Amino acid sequence: MYHFFARQENIYDDHILIDGADVNHLKNVLRIKCGEKIILSSGDNVDYYCTISEINDDSVIASIDETDTRGRELPSRIYLFQGLPKGDKMELIIQKAVELGAYGIIPVAMKRSVMKLDSKKAESKVKRWNAISESAAKQSKRSIIPAVHDVMTFAQAAEYAKTLDMVLLPYECADGMQATKDKLSSIKPGSSIGIFIGPEGGFDGSELTIAHDAGFDVITLGRRILRTETAGMMLLSVLMYQLED
């Protein structure tokens, strides 16, 4: 069943109005017909199971058959603070993070990040990254579209993370896998969690000092060194498995 998102102002008591770019996708790409079923999400963890009832030149009307207020989201909000990686790795990281249940993604320009973005390039990248998040949310049938925030410095990201219940920072020089297991097993539904992942060059010493002063939990992910595009996925997968009900 195809899955799309609808703006709150387009959701009525018995039907939902679909407009914008989704109309072209429904009509000319998917060639959807009246009577076909789709899922529409409101972006606030509510899903609507609908039947296409009307197809117009610039809009599609979907009649609401059933409303599911359970949504498809994890019971905890997980924020991925990703050190800017080289090339187009960020696109893969965002796609997989959305599939694995991340609530928000914050790109972080770290000291050892190879990618350097000026304000104009950053704005363009963030726009594309949010489009990738929306596409991944549709594909994985998320009930929300995780926001990709503007690029932050490490200090800005650390300040942003202070509002979260727990912040995890995997570091290759940390040891004690049992401590990592104990920390992860203590996470309860309803908590907010931040994950800080370094770029290819790892964390700078000054960033680790900021993390320590902010009370981050520095953990290990095992004896093997994981690439920046692997570490976040690994930790998100563990958290998804633990929190999924």
Say if residue 143 is in the same domain as residue 51: no
pLDDT at 109: 96
The single residue listed with the structure tokens 């929190």 is 243
Which domain, by its residues, includes 183? 77-243
Say if residue 12 is in the same domain as residue 112: no
pLDDT at 12: 95
Say if residue 150 is in the same domain as residue 127: yes
Task: Give yes or no for residue 3 having a pLDDT over 90.
Answer: yes
- The CATH code of the domain that includes 49 is 2.40.240.20
CA-only gyration radius of the chain, Å: 20
pLDDT at 18: 96
Measured in degrees and rounded to the nearest 5, phi and psi for residue 133 equal -60, -45
Say if residue 156 is in the same domain as residue 227: yes
Q: In total, how many domains does the chain have?
A: 2
- Report, as an integer, the average pLDDT of 63-82: 94
Residue 62's DSSP bridge partners are: 16, 52
Say if residue 88 is in the same domain as residue 45: no
pLDDT at 76: 95
Say if residue 51 is in the same domain as residue 89: no
Tell me the pTM: 0.90
Task: Give yes or no for residue 174 having a pLDDT over 90.
Answer: no
pLDDT at 245: 80
Q: Which of 43, 68, 93 is the last residue of a domain?
A: 68
pLDDT tens for 186-228 read 998 999 999 999 999 999 999 999 999 999 999 999 988 999 9
Check: CB of residue 122 under 8 Å from CB of residue 149. no
Task: Give yes or no for residue 175 having a pLDDT over 80.
Answer: no
Least confident of 13-22, 156-165, 168-177: 168-177
CA 195 to the chain's CA centroid = 12
pLDDT tens for 41-52 read 988 889 999 999
pLDDT at 45: 85
Q: Which of 68, 95, 121 is the last residue of a domain?
A: 68
pLDDT at 44: 84
